[in-house]
Amino acid sequence: MIYIFKMEYRRCLVYKSEVLFSVVSSAISILVQMALWKYLYRDNWARAEYMTAYVILSVILGIIYSNTIYYTITEKIANGNFALELLKPVDFLVLHYMRSLGNICGQISFRAVPISILFWPIISKNINIILVIKALPFIVAGHIFCTALFMWCGLISFVIVESWAIRRLTDNTISFLAGAVIPIAVFPDSLEKIVRALPFQYLYDYPIRIILGELTGYEIYMKGLISIVHGFLVMWVVVFVTFRLAIRNCTIQGG
């Protein structure tokens, strides 16, 4: 298992040009969003600084909530190699999670860290290391939730060959409802009430607001943490049920 993790991590070192371009593209995306929010809040400099830090943190969290596992699973299902992996002594889902985790850790090392260093003069004004540590449980739980969600999208390929549309819809829905692109506080009141009732807010909006010192209070913190943990537990149950049904279907059809 550790070997698989290391191989995927080292793969990020091999494709240095790809990593470089991904850092540049992320930096450009951040700069464009920064310019937009600074223009919208040109009369409120404090709010503009807050939104700038929000954008940078959102991009970094997006790297942690990667959908890599979707591609690793669908690739094996599409070419039929998943049958060979079922014969391995390692669980199919665990195997692909370790591959995904290795890739994510590589992306954090060679993409998220450079972005953080590049924009550190900006985000350091709004970030407290204690609050970052406080937000870590939400980030870890969010990573597990997104992993389960994209794993489920990948397993759908057993039934729907072109499952990329479902993955794309899921990706865009999460980005919108979680506040990855636009903070939930900016939403219209009616839409904000609906979004606040869903678990997606705990992926981006909640941890970022904790890091930026906007969310305080033990009760609010624990309520949010319990909600996201409950969300990923439900999602993992859905994943395991889907996987067992898919394997049973393949066994019946393939012998």
Q: What is the pLDDT of residues 160-193, one digit of tens each?
A: 777 778 888 888 888 899 999 889 988 988 999 9
The number of residues making up the chain comes to 255
Note the pLDDT of residue 10. Answer: 83
- pTM tops 0.85, yes or no: yes
pLDDT in tens, 137-167: 999 999 999 999 999 988 888 777 777 788 8
Average pLDDT over residues 89-116: 89
The separation between CA 4 and the C-alpha centre of its own chain, rounded to angstroms, equals 21
Nearest Cα residue to 59 out of 97, 92, 28:
28
Q: Is 255 helix (H, G, I), strand (E, B) or coil?
A: coil
- Checking if the pLDDT of 132 tops 80, the result is yes
Helices (H) and strands (E) in the chain, counts: 13, 0
For residues 205 and 89, which has the higher predicted lDDT (pLDDT)? 205
- pLDDT given at position 46: 85
Look up tokens 């305080």; give the residue.
216
